[in-house]
Chains A and B, each alone.
Chain A
Amino acid sequence: MTKFGKFAFSLAIALLAAGITLAIVQAKPETGAPVEQTLNCGNCHAETQEAWHGGAHGLANRDSLFTDAWAEQGQPGACLVCHVTGYDPSTGTWKQDGVSCEACHGQANVNHPAEPMPVQEPAELCGQCHSDARFGWQEWQSSTHYQRNMTCTICHDPHTASLKAVEGQGEEGHSALCINCHRQYSMNFSYSVHKQAGVNCIDCHLRHYGEQADRDVHTMPDHSFTANLDSCNTCHASEMHTSSDEASASLLPIDLSQPETTESGQVSDQPSPLSPYGYAGLAGLLGLAGGMILSPWLDKAYRRVTKDGRKQ
């Protein structure tokens, strides 16, 4: 048997194995139900659970925004790593629906009422799902808020997954939350043309993309909180150079990409789930190796079978 023949033979086996794997995996979408939903946190923390249940974390795998997009993509398991709690890629099952108590507070402690179950390092924890540029994490790291050790939960309520409510300082909407700390700036802002035109803090400093429903899934407002040329152009495009105009860009050296301090190890240590193609690739490699090793014997057996066939 020639070397080429041997290789071709093993390649055929590899393709067969990969194909079968792919067929099996694709044929079985993740319809698994939660394995265990026996957390009884709500017995004592009823108010918190209620707030959580109606928020984005509680709705993470129930909201139609998710279910529709998920069904459209063929219900891949990769989504479930963040959208449910305790997802097991090997069985396609999970422990609790949504981003449950356990997702952030850890597994229920047997001594719990006596021992508290605090969330350790909230900022890094949020970053496990709200991780990269698409989820706002990279911009957030370049923000002064982050560099001054502020955490997500200072502005966001993790249970309702919405912004915290503070008594408005004569301001409506989200500006109240900003002004709650940035009072000094708000004093001058009150007399500005921007204010009179109804522009508030987040229109420039937290560029957001319309209403929740209109947004692409997963896009986050720019959490660097830095106003840049784009924010001005939103309203003043006709009066200004475009952002692609290099001459104007060089006049305004705004660099969003360079945070003052970058901490290493921001990359999540959570395993990323294998896609069906990953499994198929692995099966293919195994098939290739198996084919290479077994080809002399398989070849012999094949010849024997065909010879016998010819004799008959």
Chain B
Amino acid sequence: MSEPKLNRRDFLKLSAVGVAVISGLKVIKYATASETEAGPHQWVMVIDQGKCTGCGYCTLACRAHNDVPPHISWNEVTLAGQVGEKPVYIARPCMQCAKAPCVDVCPVQASTYRPDGIVMMDYERCIGCRYCEVACPYSARSFNWETFEGPNPAVPEWGEPEVPRRPRGVVEKCCFCYNRIDRGLSLGLIPGVDPEATPACINICPTGARVFGDFNDPESNVSKLLHERASFRLREELATFPRVYYLPSIPEA
């Protein structure tokens, strides 16, 4: 007897099962979102547009503390429009998306999630392909075309650098001053409450428009604010789940 041949019907059946299994696995992987386990803290930033005067101190303090070159802003403030007579600004740090397109597209996993939700950049690993810069819907990433040399004009007036300068040929972005958060936590301080443990842009804000804290802590300032006030996030329709919330400017009665 000849060996049973794989006929066309069996082949199609097997193919169908194979495709189903592979796509099923993909769906499961996608549904579990970030591969990193969520840690006890989930840092979020709340920016009150009603209080923001667009002074740009946050941008300057960020430049100094993170040694960002003058032509790059990790935190950019732009005029968005007017509510009544009042100009309204959007201050835009990195949104630290829970489902960040930049992390998805990075071919070398230089962008990763931290357990506390911060989207980290590994500048050693980055190959400068700039996929992430294109993928980011918030234009929060900037490419280093040249080595940043010489003094930083924002130093020392707006603060002192706390992280090393990035080399030429990598993409850089805001990281919620993770170094301040980590140092603060190790000293028993509370990020968002103790200035030493809080991002530089929050501390410098003259009007208190920026608030930082732990989303998991119901007693934190951010949790209370988000509970009491209506808020929105930028480009929510893209399902990136940003960790930066905005409190809209309310027209004066």
On A, residues with C-beta under 8 Å from B are 45, 47-48, 51, 114-116, 118, 148-150, 154, 157, 159-160, 164-167, 180-184
Contact = CB atoms under 8 A, between A and B. Distances in A.
A184 B87 contact: yes
Contact of B206 (A154, A157, A160): A154
A184 B157 CA distance: 26
Contacts of B56: 166-167, 180
10 contacts: A47-B155, A47-B160, A51-B157, A149-B208, A159-B157, A164-B157, A166-B56, A166-B60, A183-B54, A184-B85
A150 B57 CA distance: 13
Interface string B16-58: 0000000000000000000000000000000000000111110
Contacts of B156: 45, 47-48, 51, 159
B157 A160 contact: yes
Contact of B157 (A157, A180, A182): A157
Q: Pick the most buried of A45, A157, A181: most chain B CB atoms within 10 A of its CB.
A: A181
B187 interface: yes
Nearest to B54: A183
Q: Pick the most buried of B85, B157, B195, B207: most chain A CB atoms within 10 A of its CB.
A: B157
Nearest to B151: A47
A94 to B, nearest CB: 25
A183 B87 contact: yes
The size class of the interface chain B forms with chain A is: 20 to 34
Nearest to A159: B156
Contacts of A160: 157
Contacts of A182: 53
B125 interface: no
B86 interface: yes
A45 to B, nearest CB: 6
A192 B160 CA distance: 40
B98 to A, nearest CB: 30
Contacts of B187: 115
Tell me the dominant secondary structure on chain A's binding face: loop
Interface string B49-91: 0000111110010000000000000000000000001110000
A149 B207 CA distance: 8
B160 A118 contact: no
B224 interface: no
B76 to A, nearest CB: 14
A116 B183 contact: yes
Contacts of B57: 154
B116 interface: no
A118 B196 contact: yes
Interface in B177-216: 183, 187, 195-196, 206-208
Given A148-B207, A181-B207, 20 more contacts: A45-B160, A47-B155, A47-B160, A48-B156, A48-B160, A116-B183, A116-B196, A149-B208, A154-B57, A154-B206, A159-B157, A160-B157, A166-B55, A180-B53, A180-B55, A181-B206, A182-B53, A183-B87, A184-B85, A184-B86
Contacts of A154: 57, 206
A150 B86 CA distance: 21
Contacts of A45: 156, 160
A150 B196 contact: no
A286 B236 CA distance: 79
A309 B53 CA distance: 91
B68 to A, nearest CB: 16
A48 to B, nearest CB: 4
A265 B207 CA distance: 24
Contacts of A48: 156, 160
A159 B208 CA distance: 23
Nearest to B159: A48
Contacts of B183: 114, 116
Contacts of A150: 206
B181 to A, nearest CB: 13
A223 to B, nearest CB: 15
A180 B160 CA distance: 22
B86 to A, nearest CB: 6
Contacts of B160: 45, 47-48
Contacts of A159: 156-157
A165 B156 CA distance: 12
A191 to B, nearest CB: 15
Nearest to A44: B160
Contacts of A118: 195-196
Interface in B91-146: none
A166 B154 CA distance: 10
Contacts of B54: 183
A54 B60 CA distance: 22
